[in-house]
Structure 1
Amino acid sequence: MSLEDSIKATAKDAEGRLQAAAGALSGDDAMQAEGQAKQVQAQVMHAAGDLKDKAQQVASRVGDALHGLTDH
């Protein structure tokens, strides 16, 4: 996950936490639910970044293995 994507996901999570807390304090169920949804969105952003990182690692390993086969 790029640093920029990580910052965006962390900011989205913080925004969601603040919005959910404000909704809880004010008794605004819709605001609270929207804040919770933003937190879930941030979790998905982090998971997608982690998946992308893993896929890049696997692709690199496959490339290294194929390169090793062609060297012989």
Structure 2
Amino acid sequence: YLFWYVQHLNKAPQLILKGLTADKKVEHEGFQATLVKSDSSFHLQKRAVQASDSAVYYCALSDTVRKGCRGS
């Protein structure tokens, strides 16, 4: 799997998309990404962005945010 996370200011990262199947588009809440195995890419896109979309976006190779765990 590949994962896309969003982290808004002073908030914990939140999972927005995950992809497993090559060349298949995944979509969630206006975001979309396609895992392109031939060029090892997983680009995140959003057609209509708003000021509220301002954040840091992370792509990860594993599920880095665990439900039920708290950090300090």
Q: Determine if the TM-score, normalized by the shorter chain, exceeds 0.5.
A: no
Instruction: Please report the TM-score for the alignment, with normalisation by the length of structure 2.
Output: 0.20
Rg: which structure is higher?
Answer: 1
Instruction: Please report the TM-score for the alignment, with normalisation by the length of structure 1.
Output: 0.20
Query: Higher helix share goes to which structure?
Result: 1
